[in-house]
Chains A and B, each alone.
Chain A
Amino acid sequence: MADTLWVLVTAILVFFMNLGFGCVEAGFQQSKNCVNILSKNFVVFACSTLAFWFLGWGLMFGDGTPWFGLQGLFMLGGADNSPATGDAYQGVYSAINWTGVPLLAKFFFQLVFAGTAATIVSGSVGGRIKYLSFILFSFLLVGLIYPTVGHWIWGGGWLAKSGMWDFAGSTVVHSVGGWAALAGALILGPRFGKYGPNGKINVIPGHNLSLALIGTFVLWLGWFGFNPGSTMAADPRLISHICVTTNMAACTAILGATIASWILLKKPDFGMTLNGCLAGLVAITAPCAFVSVGSSAVIGFIAGILVVLAVIFFDRVYVDDPVGATAVHLVNGVFGTLCVGLFAEDWVSPNTTGNGLLFGGGAKLLMAQLTGIVAVGIFTFLVAAIFWLLLKYTVGIRVSLQEEIEGLDIGEHGNSAYPDFVIRKPHYSMVSLGNVGSEEEIPEKKSSRRPSYAGKG
């Protein structure tokens, strides 16, 4: 009873993260696209639910090959006598027979994780993606890509057998979402006016940092379901441990990002700080049940610094990711997975990971983690890219230039997020000051002109 209660309550918390993603993404982007962003984050959970119910669960947890499930594929139809566990279990979803809860509790819990991966993608493609294409891609992601990777690591597949460990999904959820987001951002191209001729990086500020804060806190709250819930058992010691490591990483990541932003950018940029918190949470997702509290502090701190560097990096290589989905989920999903190989200590969850490199376990675990990261990266990025290209050359993935300038709210939905508000937008000069001396040196008036609409793509 306690186990089932625990699984369902934490699943409900993870479901709530969809609100978090919606708020963060909306806050980080322009008001003219607000309805579109909220819609994507709203509808994506519906797509995820259907795709995961129809095929995703079966591919991920059905008995089959080391690469994907073959039995009980469709609509949870396979034989199953959950909550029986271990040897008493008779059914086709053996990979998840270790948790003593009903089948639908397992399904519901895994479903909200799949939904998280899908909603990550909506951030990086914001501001220029066609609503229909995003919906179609989400079905493909949750129906095919996510469950395949999930099968490898959680479904008893080849990566699990080779000793790779990902407790709550730094790789399975976050890096999968991240790779798909990266593929999307690359194939879609940057927002109009984001990168000027001669490679200037123009700023498109978000319209509501209050909303972004709300979203981040909601995600943080939800993560207290995401990580501890993955025990799928009300194990008092372990779930307490995971709550603390999760929180610790988030907090040190906030500090790491603040310090990095203060030093690199001269001021503690709030957008960076928010991303920092999320980066820490992503990074601790894989190791949370395998590392000490002290280690989680270190992991979080590094993640906070990493995300600041990653956001700047992706912009410099002209990957337009309005919310930092790639910097937060991809980069730190990878980093968190590696951290298992470095920081794991056997006593935290005995007889699972063993000790990592820094605690005398040698490099074996680390190598298994690395193998997983590379395999998942190649697979996810390639298949996602194929799907994006397929969509591009059939229904098209990008809105017209006029629609992009007007705002997707009007073009895709015929709505306006703030029809009653007087939207007063200061006229930005669209001149990047990246390397022009200090703040006090303002360029002459003649070089700051009205926005020029010469974009790269």
Chain B
Amino acid sequence: MKKIEAIIRPEKLDDVRIALERAGYPGITITEIEGHGLQKGTVQQWRGEKYKVDFLPKIKVEIVSHDEDAEKIIQAVLQASYTGAVGDGKIFISEVDEVVRIRTRERGDKALV
């Protein structure tokens, strides 16, 4: 099982969600985060002085899927979240050791369906 962690622009969340609906996914977790990669911060001002806001708001989309579905999901996210400008984000893929469904205590692939 793979965990797909996509850090995307907040304004792209709707597009990504729609693309994921079409691709199909077992479940999804969304977190509001701050951070930056190559994209620099913004400059704001307050009563005569400027200041830098280093960290930019992003959305983290986490999906845990079967190995064979991972690429389909990654492609959906990629296409929907792309703009071409610095700050589009990144997708991290990692291995998940185990999944447990709390309601039924099922484990493994059955728990992910």
Chain A residues contacting B49 (CB-CB under 8 Å) are: 201-203, 315, 432-434
Chain A residues contacting B92 (CB-CB under 8 Å) are: none
In the bound complex, do residue B52 and residue A267 qualify as a contact, i.e. CB atoms below 8 Å apart? no
Chain A residues contacting B52 (CB-CB under 8 Å) are: 428-429, 431, 433, 442-443, 448
The docked-state distance in angstroms from the alpha carbon of A267 to that of B48 is 10
Chain A residues contacting B45 (CB-CB under 8 Å) are: 203, 265, 267, 269
How many B residues touch the partner, as a band?
10 to 19
The docked-state distance in angstroms from the alpha carbon of A106 to that of B39 is 63
In the bound complex, do residue A269 and residue B50 qualify as a contact, i.e. CB atoms below 8 Å apart? no
Chain A residues contacting B40 (CB-CB under 8 Å) are: 442, 445
B54 contacts the other chain (CB 8 A): yes
Query: A240-277: which have CB < 8 Å to B?
Result: 264-265, 267, 269, 271-272, 275
Interface centre among B32, B47, B52 (most CB of A within 10 A): B47
When C-beta atoms are compared, the residue in chain B nearest to A316 turns out to be B48
The docked-state distance in angstroms from the alpha carbon of A204 to that of B53 is 12
In the bound complex, do residue A269 and residue B47 qualify as a contact, i.e. CB atoms below 8 Å apart? yes
27 A–B contacts, CB within 8 A, in A order: A201-B49, A203-B45, A203-B46, A203-B50, A203-B51, A205-B46, A264-B48, A269-B46, A269-B47, A272-B47, A272-B48, A311-B48, A312-B48, A315-B47, A427-B34, A427-B53, A428-B54, A429-B41, A429-B54, A431-B51, A432-B51, A433-B49, A433-B51, A434-B49, A442-B40, A442-B43, A445-B40
Sort A-B residue pairs by CB-CB distance and give the 8 closest, nearest first. A433-B50, A203-B51, A312-B48, A429-B52, A205-B46, A442-B40, A203-B46, A439-B43
Residues of B within 8 A of A (CB): 32, 34, 40-41, 43-55, 57
Known: A264-B48, A432-B49. 18 other contacts (CB 8 A): A202-B51, A203-B45, A203-B49, A203-B51, A205-B44, A206-B46, A272-B47, A312-B47, A315-B49, A424-B32, A428-B54, A429-B52, A429-B53, A429-B54, A432-B51, A433-B51, A442-B40, A442-B43
